[in-house]
Amino acid sequence: MVLISSYLLNARTSCLHVSNARTENLTSLAPLVVEDRPQAISLLQQARSKRYSVEEAKQLHSYIVKSGPSPNIYYLNSLIRLYAANGALDDAQKLFDGVPHRDVVSWTTLVDGYAKLGKMDDAKELFNSMRERNVVSWNVMITGYGKQGNLEAAREMFDKMPEHDIASWNSLISSFARNDLPEEAFKIFQKVLTEALVMPNKVSFLSVLPAIAELGCALRGRCVHSLILRTGIELDGLLSSALVDMYCKCDCLDHAFQVLKTNQSRDNVASWNPLLAGLVRHKRFEEALDIFQILQLENVEPDVVTIITLIATVAQLGTLGLGKWLHAYAIRKRIRVSATLASALVDMYSKCGCVELALQVFSMAEERTVELWNAMINGLAIHGQGKDAIELFSQMRAENSEFDEVTLASILNACSHSGLVDDGLSFFAAMKDIYKMTPKIQHYGCIVDLLSRVGQLEEAKTFICSKMHMKPDAVLWKSLLGACKTHGNVEIGEFAARHLIELCPDDSSAYVLLSSIYDSAGRLNDAVAMRKMMSDGGVSKEPGFSLIESGGVVHVFLVGDRSHPRLEEVNTMLCEMSEKFRSVGYAPEKQLVLFDIDDQEKEFAISHHSEKLAIAFGLCDTAKGTPLHIVKNLRMCSDCHVFMKLASKIYDREIIVRDNRRFHHFKTGKCSCMDYW
């Protein structure tokens, strides 16, 4: 919200450049062919930086051991390491057993091999039979125990060893960090600074940063960051990514961005993904798209994680064009449509108003997880296709798919959005009696909504007061109050408003709705008193805004907007529209305006609701016949609803409006919601 306001103040529109992505260079790895001993030796010398397979190790082995003079112990140790690194411990052990003058490195290498595979008993036996040990041998044991989760043994090794180097400390820090003991890990790191005779190195920071991330302590994170800068350690890709990840998990997204901007690994998309996820978690969707724009400008290719995060963003913003582009991009990049990606796509297409595309993705998905089913059922629900949602739920049960509380919430929601009272009540009963699930607040909310929408206000009130096993929340009271406005029930409206104000004294909706109920009932004095109470209490109404995407650009309109660069054109269009509509009997609903202003001004206010500005702009800016998608932050008022119906008929356009409650598909003068909203 804050962001979108600042977005408006800056009067800028977010352009998303959708460029062709670069083609990938895949260098294939040719199998290694060893021809003679000198080549084998030279290849073995590179063995620390290269990875060889067991077969390749065997080739090297045969040239080095079986031909020529007895090889240097250095090469033999390298071969042991190669086998161990591939998990071929039998080969490693056999070679080790045959080496006549084993040194401490030979022993440690094999101990490390066992430890890396988690065979700590074998590692310990070997370690105990070592005649001489160095600090590396001890460190290998600490790390091994740490990975196994045996922190006691790791700590014992650390305490027993005669001297510690920084790697010993690092092993201990990461052992605790890895085993969900971030506080202990951080304390050991502090000991390095205060007690140890060694300086922390890059690995120390790489070990402690995940612990700080886990703790979510930004202050410690900033201290460690400044320590890194002071020690002069180079901020390479790994370290920057760890910092970015830490800052994101500590919710310091701006710090994360600062690190990324100057980061050497900023061409690696994996360093950007935590930032994107953080922005989405904080509902900073526009900034997430800005980051995407930066990635495009810097030619950083998104991976599947980026795509899923961005699709979630698009779902929230309702920017269908970008959503389609991301989907096409994933296909072009041959990114496998996993169940997670499919669920994200289904959710995005539903929330962008394209339930057909959502169904297409759903039917093509290789695997149907409960998330995917839920996304599809919910998609049908918010589009008012209640019968289809119920049908899909029976199909889900027929295929023996597991379902959960989210599924039931979507089904109840579907019933409520389609006015299917009996179905909704029987699903609610089945939830408790047959599926043995305990209803949560959202399930109760659906039932209240279901009863309220169809005007069964007394039943809804009784349900809240006597059938719920928990305290009703604000959402629930708001549904009831909203329905009282629609059905003109003053008494229950007052009852609901009183509870809502008690729960959320700063929320304007109770005042606005009740005042409007009084207004409609002709109780003007009460309506004025309500508005006075609202302004005395310093409660202000959240300003309405609407988004519309046209030509790859997202345009934002605020209620009574005076900032859009093409406002004059929009206003001319609006005048033309209302004239045409008036000629077929449209009259603005003045009673919806909640200010003490005269009739002419009332008319201006209502005719400049943000979705009206957006639709006028959409009609000017797009070719005839193009469907128009609008996303509104608040619930659409009944006047705008009538206005959209007329616009769809007179201008022959499909108009899809997503408000904060549901979707409205306007076509040839009718709305898919059948006026249930």
Which residues fall within 8 angstroms of residue 190, CB to CB, at 6 or more apart? Answer: none
Q: Are strands 553-558 and 545-550 parallel, antiparallel or unpaired?
A: antiparallel
Closer Cβ to Zn ion, 548 or 673, answer by number: 673
Closer Cβ to Zn ion, 383 or 555, answer by number: 383
Which residues fall within 8 angstroms of residue 462, CB to CB, at 6 or more apart? Answer: none
Q: Are 212 and 221 in contact (CB under 8 A)?
A: yes
The CA distance from 576 to 580, in Å, is 6
Closer Cβ to Zn ion, 325 or 651, answer by number: 651
Give min distance, CB of 397 to Zn ion, in A.
30
Helix (H, G, I), strand (E, B) or coil at 558: strand
Backbone angles phi, psi at 608, to 5 degrees: -115, 25
Nearest to 176 by CA among 139, 221, 201, 207: 207
The CA distance from 612 to 645, in Å, is 12
Tell me which DSSP letter residue 637 carries.
P
Residue type, 57: A
Interface mask toward Zn ion for 566-585; x: CB under 5 A: --------------------
Tokens of 441: 């607040």
Interface mask toward Zn ion for 313-352; x: CB under 5 A: ----------------------------------------
The dihedral of CA 495, 499, 505, 509: what is its sign? negative
The span of 125-133, 274-282, 362-370, 606-614 binding Zn ion (CB under 5 A) equals 606-614
Closer Cβ to Zn ion, 376 or 673, answer by number: 673
**Of 95, 361, 500, 671, the one binding Zn ion by CB under 5 A:** 671
**Of 157, 259, 637, 655, the one binding Zn ion by CB under 5 A:** 637
Angle value at C-alpha 189, between 186 and 195, nearest 5 degrees = 135
The span of 92-100, 174-182, 365-373, 633-641 binding Zn ion (CB under 5 A) equals 633-641
Tokens of 435: 């599926």
Angle value at C-alpha 308, between 307 and 312, nearest 5 degrees = 115
Closer Cβ to Zn ion, 564 or 664, answer by number: 664
Closer Cβ to Zn ion, 357 or 637, answer by number: 637
Give min distance, CB of 526 to Zn ion, in A.
23
Helix (H, G, I), strand (E, B) or coil at 338: coil
CB atoms within 10 A of CB 669: 13
The span of 40-48, 108-116, 249-257, 669-677 binding Zn ion (CB under 5 A) equals 669-677
Give min distance, CB of 341 to Zn ion, in A.
31
Closer Cβ to Zn ion, 166 or 615, answer by number: 615
Helix locations, 195-262, DSSP H: 202-215, 218-231, 237-249, 253-261
The sheet with strand 553-558 has its strands ordered as 14-15, 553-558, 545-550, 628-632, 655-658, 663-667, 670-671
Give min distance, CB of 317 to Zn ion, in A.
21
Helices (H) and strands (E) in the chain, counts: 35, 7
Closer Cβ to Zn ion, 165 or 589, answer by number: 589
Site membership for Zn ion, residue 640 (CB under 5 A): yes
Give min distance, CB of 647 to Zn ion, in A.
13
The span of 400-408, 516-524, 556-564, 636-644 binding Zn ion (CB under 5 A) equals 636-644
Closer Cβ to Zn ion, 337 or 673, answer by number: 673
Q: At what angle do helices 253-261 and 237-249 cross, to 10 degrees?
A: 160
Give min distance, CB of 642 to Zn ion, in A.
9
Closer Cβ to Zn ion, 461 or 658, answer by number: 658
Give min distance, CB of 666 to Zn ion, in A.
7
Give min distance, CB of 593 to Zn ion, in A.
10
Give min distance, CB of 664 to Zn ion, in A.
3
Give min distance, CB of 569 to Zn ion, in A.
21
The CA distance from 262 to 136, in Å, is 35
N-to-C CA span, the chain: 23
The span of 35-43, 65-73, 345-353, 604-612 binding Zn ion (CB under 5 A) equals 604-612
Strand partners, 632: 546
Interface mask toward Zn ion for 649-668; x: CB under 5 A: ---------------x----
Closer Cβ to Zn ion, 291 or 574, answer by number: 574
Which residues fall within 8 angstroms of residue 90, CB to CB, at 6 or more apart? Answer: none
Give min distance, CB of 418 to Zn ion, in A.
12
Closer Cβ to Zn ion, 564 or 609, answer by number: 609
Helix (H, G, I), strand (E, B) or coil at 658: strand
Closer Cβ to Zn ion, 143 or 648, answer by number: 648
The span of 21-29, 158-166, 531-539, 635-643 binding Zn ion (CB under 5 A) equals 635-643
Binding residues for Zn ion, total number by CB under 5 A: 6
CB atoms within 10 A of CB 14: 19
Q: Are 651 and 622 in contact (CB under 8 A)?
A: no
Q: At what angle do helices 386-398 and 405-417 cross, to 10 degrees?
A: 150
Closer Cβ to Zn ion, 333 or 649, answer by number: 649
Angle value at C-alpha 333, between 331 and 339, nearest 5 degrees = 55
Closer Cβ to Zn ion, 444 or 663, answer by number: 663
Helix (H, G, I), strand (E, B) or coil at 549: strand
Closer Cβ to Zn ion, 492 or 673, answer by number: 673
Give min distance, CB of 588 to Zn ion, in A.
10
Helix, strand, coil percentages, rounded to 5, for the chain = 65, 5, 30
The span of 126-134, 367-375, 440-448, 631-639 binding Zn ion (CB under 5 A) equals 631-639
Closer Cβ to Zn ion, 143 or 385, answer by number: 385
Look-up of token digits 């006047």:
639
The dihedral of CA 460, 465, 469, 472: what is its sign? positive
Give min distance, CB of 595 to Zn ion, in A.
14
Give min distance, CB of 346 to Zn ion, in A.
22
Give min distance, CB of 16 to Zn ion, in A.
28
Nearest to 419 by CA among 386, 379, 462: 386
Give min distance, CB of 306 to Zn ion, in A.
35
**Of 609, 629, 632, 653, the one binding Zn ion by CB under 5 A:** 609
Site for Zn ion in 131-150 (CB under 5 A): none
Q: Are 310 and 302 in contact (CB under 8 A)?
A: yes
Tokens of 473: 């929340």
Give min distance, CB of 413 to Zn ion, in A.
16
Interface mask toward Zn ion for 469-508; x: CB under 5 A: ----------------------------------------
Binding site for Zn ion (CB under 5 A): 609, 637, 640, 664, 671, 673
